[in-house]
Amino acid sequence: MHIRVERDAFVDALGPVQSVVEMKKALPILSHVLLDADQEGLSLFGTDLDVGLRRQVVAEVIKPGAVTVSAKKLYEVAKELPSAMIEFEADPDFQVAISCQRSNFRMKGLSREEFPSLPNLRGGDEVVLEAKLFRDLLRKTLFAVSSDQTRYALTGVLLQAQTNSLNAVATDGHRLALVRMARPETSGTAVIDALIPKKAMVEAVKIARDEIGEVRLWLSENQIILQQATTTLVARLIDGQFPNYDQVVPSFTPNQINLSKDVLYGALRRTSAIMGERTTPTEFDFQAGRLLISCVNMDLGEAHEEVEITYAGEGLKIGFNARYILDFLSAVDSESITLHLTDPLSPAVFRATGDDGYSCVIMPMRI
């Protein structure tokens, strides 16, 4: 293999690819990135066997070929090179010579034969979404994904593209984030019901961060494939039964309270500062026209703040994990939110005011 490629384009492509590779070196080859040059240019591919990412780069291919090298070290080297043309040349023993202006390196590589192969990327029926829409679906649900590996079915985002609807949902057992919307008419013909691991969706957010163009998704056996422009993401689906989320969202709540998103966010940030690392409940004391927010840390002290609200019902005290509410507020686009409450022990529903399409259900804490 012998190629020349612009340093800036190469680093931009290698950055997201190296972020998915396996660094623990259970299999040494998984810490590598595959450089594959052919008549179409250069492609970079990295994987940890559960998530794989391929980026294509425009390059001058002098001699086609492929080799794998350490993803992390190659990225560290490439970032330090000047903004100029980089030349890569691999010999039959997979030694890779790298030169850029006056800088020269030699890295040990491995054969592509040892590297996992990409699945069949030929798509059939697809789901086609605007990049911004896809990114918003993930931004509004990812924070609720569980990090508890013993609850495997909760460690991903459930994406459902039905004939007339598009849903995304995530839960960790204490909170649930749900986006429901009508399926766009231009979204293709595929029907998808896929439980996608969090790592893959975090990378997908990066792919769609420019919020332009389209994202295409389709299924291939037990994997989902996501493609935008020159980037292809492949993820093994989670094999587990996701909870029936319709049973979690209360159908009726007698108390509805409107308040400013920014005011509540600021109040929670300030009062939560006293809590430190402890996961103690923040007390919400709802009274006519006002909300009293209180945090108590037995070792450090306490914090209180009053917030103006639209509420004329009876007094109601509920405890919440403030971090859960802050995560929801960070994902909401509107200026005001509505809390739907039943009693101190029942799940509460947080929504953007006037928008039933996005809900965050949060279980209360005993106070």
How confident is the model at residue 319, as a pLDDT?
A: 96
List of domains in the chain: 2-114 (3.10.150.10), 127-246 (3.10.150.10), 249-362 (3.10.150.10)
Q: What is the C-alpha separation between 51 and 29, in angstroms, rounded?
A: 15
Q: Which residue has the higher pLDDT, 105 or 22?
A: 105
pLDDT greater than 70 at residue 320: yes
What separation in angstroms does the CA of 31 have from each of 20, 50, 67, 79, 85?
Answer: 9, 14, 13, 18, 25
Q: What is the C-alpha separation between 242 and 288, in angstroms, rounded?
A: 39
102-108 average pLDDT score: 96
> For the whole model, what pTM was predicted?
0.89
pLDDT greater than 80 at residue 119: no
Please give the angle made by the CA atoms of 223, 225 and 227, to the nearest 5 degrees.
Answer: 170
How confident is the model at residue 291, as a pLDDT?
A: 96
100-119 average pLDDT score: 91
36-55 average pLDDT score: 94
Percent of the chain exceeding pLDDT 70 equals: 98
113-131 average pLDDT score: 82
Q: What is the C-alpha separation between 143 and 68, in angstroms, rounded?
A: 34
How confident is the model at residue 212, as a pLDDT?
A: 78
| Beta strands at 103-108 and 127-130: parallel, antiparallel or unpaired | unpaired
Identify the band that residue 105 occupies on the pLDDT scale cut at 50, 70 and 90: very high
What separation in angstroms does the CA of 138 have from each of 47, 130, 177, 303?
Answer: 21, 13, 10, 33
335-344 average pLDDT score: 94
How confident is the model at residue 164, as a pLDDT?
A: 93
How confident is the model at residue 350, as a pLDDT?
A: 97
pLDDT greater than 90 at residue 331: yes
Kindly write down the DSSP assignment for every residue of 288-348, as one continuous string: TTEEEEEEEETTTEEEEEEEE-B--S--EEEEE-HHHHHHHHHH--SSEEEEEE--TTS-E
How confident is the model at residue 45, as a pLDDT?
A: 96
Q: Summarize pLDDT for 134-185 with one digit per residue, the tens.
A: 999 999 999 999 999 899 999 999 999 999 999 999 999 999 999 999 999 9
280-290 average pLDDT score: 94
223-241 average pLDDT score: 93
Residue identified by tokens 């929504």 is 351
How confident is the model at residue 116, as a pLDDT?
A: 87
How confident is the model at residue 25, as a pLDDT?
A: 64
Sign of the CA dihedral with 37 first, then 38, 40, and 46 last: negative
323-340 average pLDDT score: 95
Identify the band that residue 275 occupies on the pLDDT scale cut at 50, 70 and 90: confident
pLDDT greater than 70 at residue 123: no
What average pLDDT is seen over the chain? 92
